[in-house]
Chains A and B, each alone.
Chain A
């Protein structure tokens, strides 16, 4: 295993960092060999998939592969996946052991409503032979009947302490030279997403063993293009058309989502050459725009609306 997110993925409860209460509860389930349907809700990179894999491995030992199915609803979101693939796996008895099989359904907030209804039936009908672990970012996106059938666990972004421990462990194994301030910077960038941390770290390490803040910012510059600042500057000086053209090109070139852009605008605001009250106005409008992107269907129109109101400020 060459990719660190896999190489350093915790393999048992002892290695698992953060989410202490949840780990403790699920460990008790494993011990009793009785797993309820579970819903893991929380942001990216905080241990949902890892914990599911640990549960399965502890539960089934060597025969875990035969008794476990993993599907990502964001890749296969229609009703067919539930009706066919999931149902076929769920209806047969588990192999070698007398414990229900486990089906891990990742990003299930991406399932359509129809698929969710079908899923709810499947959970009921085959609960003798299969148990579900569902994972999602926001549990509110799931229909109530599914939530009520699950034990719901809310995962938090990993805390600085946990992330620090993991970085320390990796740098020891990989012989990296990384100092305190750099670790702090890495944590700040990650928003508690350990997958992000490990990926950035591995990219840095492929360039140099000595990792400093500058290297980190070089590595993430592809994800945070400088053009966003100039998009804002054009908008502020009233040049709306140029600003929106540049924004579209930048988003396409770097594959940025609307949320990526908003996040970066919000970081960029304090570096802009306008007075502080106006900065505050943009921040407020950013929050509003982010909300509308989630609610709306065309994120670019929402961003244009933001740029149009920014172009009023000067």
Chain B
């Protein structure tokens, strides 16, 4: 499980935002006033709302940008949410997450939200990175605004310490401070960095940090690529690593493009990945220029029109998930290794064969003995 999930605040008391802002948040919900919570990525907008709901014993009905594109879907969710009282909890909060991710794309989006506000008596909270987007103006007029500022370094440090404490992992304070500083107020990023560095260890002695000072560069490049059509040279001016750019594009693409444009853009990504592998196999680095062009112009020209969205972009979670999964499967890998030796195959293949032979191993004591499996390993099956 990712630590971001595991250590989500359960109550507002654990949220590192100034108490006055939090009490405003609570007040708006109790008064059922529509509200926009805005602030940078990873400062705890969404988690505060969930924590508040937990404190009040409310239920959160969440709609995100993808649902809003589909009116029937919205009506279905809202219809139920607004007309029924919560069955098990004392109240409800309607959460529309990342509203600015939708405003640029979907012209009908704002109207849909306004009509939701009219229809329902449930408190509505929207979250946004930038609420001053012109397309949000009609909604903004109806809402109270609360800004969540970036979390200060020592606030982040405190949380990182608490997490390590609970995980039983040691780490020097200066290393933790480095993680906290690097995150620039993005708590989510800090926790992710911490987990990457802590996974499978009892003590952290050195750090591997994906450099977040490049984040702004990446954001600029992404904004140009996703909004403009002529993006020649955008990647040259800024110092951006293509592998990383590819992952950022991959993660955020489906929130920027849809339909034909999405498919065309993903085709460009797919081609870029093939060139990447060819470079690796043949060490023929000239092919890098094609990766650059596919990742910039290839993505930019996939959309029919230019636009002026001002979205914030998410860091992909995929690589982190691979890590976590690898840790989790370490035991299974041990079993596969033992099996591999016995039946003359590689441990990779054995891992795959376990899917078929696993049941027999689980049911057959003799096989377990023959493979010398520990009780721990048997339980893992």
Footprint of B on A, CB under 8 Å?
A: 1-3, 5-6, 44, 49, 53, 70, 72-75, 106-107, 110, 195-196, 199-200, 202-203, 205-207, 219-220, 222-223, 238-242, 244, 248, 252, 254-255, 257, 292, 295-298, 300-302, 304-305, 308-309, 311-312
Evaluate contact between A305 and B267: CB separation under 8 angstroms.
yes
Residues on B with C-beta less than 8 A from A308 are 254, 262-263, 265-267
CA distance in complex: A298, B322 (Å): 12
Q: Which of A2, A75, A106, A254 interacts with B364 by CB under 8 Å?
A: A2
Q: What 6 A-B pairs come out closest when comparing CB atoms? A: A206-B363, A74-B346, A297-B277, A203-B359, A305-B270, A223-B355
Contact A296:B263 (CB < 8 A) given known A2-B364, A222-B358: no
Footprint of A on B, CB under 8 Å?
A: 66, 246, 250, 254-255, 258-260, 262-263, 265-267, 269-270, 273-274, 276-278, 280, 318, 321-322, 325, 329, 332, 339-340, 342-349, 351-353, 355-360, 362-364, 366-367, 369-370
CA distance in complex: A206, B265 (Å): 49
- CB-nearest residue of chain B to A224: B355
- CB-nearest residue of chain B to A77: B346
Q: Which of B266, B342, B353 interacts with A304 by CB under 8 Å?
A: B266
Residues on A with C-beta less than 8 A from B280 are 297
Evaluate contact between A195 and B262: CB separation under 8 angstroms.
no
Evaluate contact between B66 and A242: CB separation under 8 angstroms.
yes
Evaluate contact between A3 and B273: CB separation under 8 angstroms.
no
What is the interface of chain B mostly: helix, strand, loop, or mixed? helix
CA distance in complex: A219, B259 (Å): 38
CA distance in complex: A2, B343 (Å): 11
Nearest chain A CB to B59 CB, angstrom units: 21
Residues on B with C-beta less than 8 A from A238 are 258-259
Q: Which of A107, A219, A242, A301 interacts with B270 by CB under 8 Å?
A: A301
Evaluate contact between A292 and B274: CB separation under 8 angstroms.
yes
Evaluate contact between A203 and B357: CB separation under 8 angstroms.
yes
- CB-nearest residue of chain A to B250: A301
- CB-nearest residue of chain B to A197: B356
Q: Which of A73, A75, A223 interacts with B356 by CB under 8 Å?
A: A223
CA distance in complex: A152, B18 (Å): 73
Contact A206:B355 (CB < 8 A) given known A2-B370, A74-B349, A296-B277: no
Evaluate contact between A202 and B357: CB separation under 8 angstroms.
yes
Residues on B with C-beta less than 8 A from A106 are 344-346
Contact A203:B358 (CB < 8 A) given known A297-B273, A302-B270: yes
Evaluate contact between B357 and A72: CB separation under 8 angstroms.
no
CA distance in complex: A200, B48 (Å): 49
Evaluate contact between A255 and B267: CB separation under 8 angstroms.
no
Contact A311:B263 (CB < 8 A) given known A202-B360, A292-B270: yes
Evaluate contact between B273 and A241: CB separation under 8 angstroms.
no
Residues on B with C-beta less than 8 A from A244 are 254
Nearest chain B CB to A8 CB, angstrom units: 11
Of the A-B pairs whose beta carbons lie under 8 Å apart in the complex, a sample of 24, sorted by A's number, is: A2-B364, A3-B343, A3-B367, A75-B347, A195-B353, A196-B356, A199-B356, A200-B356, A203-B357, A220-B356, A238-B259, A239-B66, A241-B66, A255-B351, A255-B355, A295-B274, A297-B280, A298-B246, A301-B246, A302-B270, A304-B270, A308-B265, A309-B266, A311-B262
